[in-house]
Amino acid sequence: MKSILHIFVLTLLSSGLSCSQEAGNPPSAKEQDKPYKNEEFNAYWYSGKAEVAAYNLKQSRYGEIHDGKAVLIFVTEPFSKSKQVKLDNPEQARDDKITVMKLNFTKKFTTGIYPYSMMLSSFTPVDSYNHSKTLKVTMSSQEWCGQVYSQMNLDRRKYSLKSFSYFEKEGDQDLSIEAALLEDELWNQIRLNYKALPVGEIKIIPGLFHTRLMHKNLKPVLATATLNEEGGQITYQVKYPERSLSITFDKVFPYQIQSWEETYNGIGGKELTTSATLDKTLHIDYWSKNSVSDKYLRDSLNLK
């Protein structure tokens, strides 16, 4: 999917802004790595900080709604096109280097006596004109019954999927999936260029959170997408045959995500809705805030 984001073509950043090996000292962006100077974008996303946003979560599970907390962390970082991992020495990578928008998406909630801890990471090229597909998505889920892990890597026109689960019917999987729009990249696309989001009938691969919790096979499906504006906010909605996902975000830069809703039929056909609303946000170099004296910052995000 090519977009108007070609103003950011070529690699924009030669150094990482996320968890660096020397905490508290991430390299700064070099001027020659920003040939197309969108000052607003550069000032926010290449400032040596990440956006950390905490949300009040209402998670549907086992036919009920459970209170929890979700966190969306967005940051740009240098990425290896060949290995599809964060580069340790981006200044030496040359043609292998690409700048991605990384999303780390966490959910924590408790069902009865036992807790869930879930995390999803998505790596989407900033230069979506020359690199139209997300390169990698990973997801892990831990709870007292066991754990699962899935990883998707772009391999030309396919996604290579490796998935591991403690459930017998899922077991260990290693297969290829037709490359299509990923539900798990929508969050990054909103932050990069929401106007390029596809509308109408689309082919999309459902998100890993949903498919793993519902124990469904991962494959592209047909859905209908709309983009609606109301006041100062915009909602992107994807309607699947048996589910819908709506993400609401600010109309103005940096297009912060304010809320989302996911509705589907749960146990016994009962309709349930998972929802989250923005609580607190920090624009911060969180990777350097790792000492005991930094714990007060969690209060700034209402994280216990």
Higher pLDDT residue, 291 or 266?
291
What's the rounded Cα separation, in Å, for the pair 66 and 273?
11
pLDDT value at residue 91: 87
**Residue 6, token pair as written in the block:** 């070609």
Q: Region 115-133: what's the mean pLDDT?
A: 95
pLDDT value at residue 269: 73
- Residue 183: how many CA atoms within 13 Å on its side-chain side? 29
Higher pLDDT residue, 129 or 1?
129
Q: In angstroms, how far apart are the furthest CA atoms of the chain?
A: 58
- Residue 194: how many CA atoms within 13 Å on its side-chain side? 23
Decide if pLDDT at 298 tops 50: yes
DSSP 63-93: TEEEEEEEEEEEEEEEEETTT-SB-S-GGGT
SS3 label, residue 195: helix
What's the rounded Cα separation, in Å, for the pair 290 and 5?
35
Q: Region 176-180: what's the mean pLDDT?
A: 95
Q: Region 39-63: what's the mean pLDDT?
A: 95
> pLDDT tens for residues 257-270?
999 999 998 766 78
- Residue 150: how many CA atoms within 13 Å on its side-chain side? 29
The residues facing 9 across adjacent strands are none
Q: Region 40-66: what's the mean pLDDT?
A: 95
pLDDT value at residue 19: 56
pLDDT value at residue 282: 98
Decide if pLDDT at 250 tops 80: yes
What's the rounded Cα separation, in Å, for the pair 138 and 126?
18
What's the rounded Cα separation, in Å, for the pair 180 and 223?
12
Nearest to 273 by CA among 53, 54, 63: 63
Per-residue pLDDT band at 272 (split at 50, 70, 90): very high
Average pLDDT, the chain: 88
Decide if pLDDT at 249 tops 50: yes
Decide if pLDDT at 256 tops 80: yes
* Lowest-confidence pick of 34-43, 129-138, 228-237: 34-43
pLDDT value at residue 5: 38
pLDDT value at residue 267: 67
Decide if pLDDT at 25 tops 50: no
pTM value? 0.87
> pLDDT tens for residues 54-92?
999 999 999 899 999 999 999 999 999 999 999 998 888
Domain count, the chain: 1
* Lowest-confidence pick of 19-28, 97-106, 124-133, 188-197: 19-28
Structural domain range at position 196 = 4-300
* Lowest-confidence pick of 42-51, 94-103, 210-219: 210-219
What's the rounded Cα separation, in Å, for the pair 268 and 250?
36
Higher pLDDT residue, 282 or 169?
282
Nearest to 70 by CA among 104, 44, 113: 104
3-state secondary structure 234-298: EEEEEECCCEEEEEEEECCCCCCEEEEEEEEECHHHCEEEEEEEEEEEEEECHHHCCCHHHCHHH
pLDDT value at residue 152: 97
Decide if pLDDT at 247 tops 70: yes
Decide if pLDDT at 161 tops 80: yes
Nearest to 78 by CA among 62, 94, 67: 94
Q: Answer for the pair 169, 217: CB distance below 8 angstroms, yes or no.
A: no
SS3 label, residue 122: strand
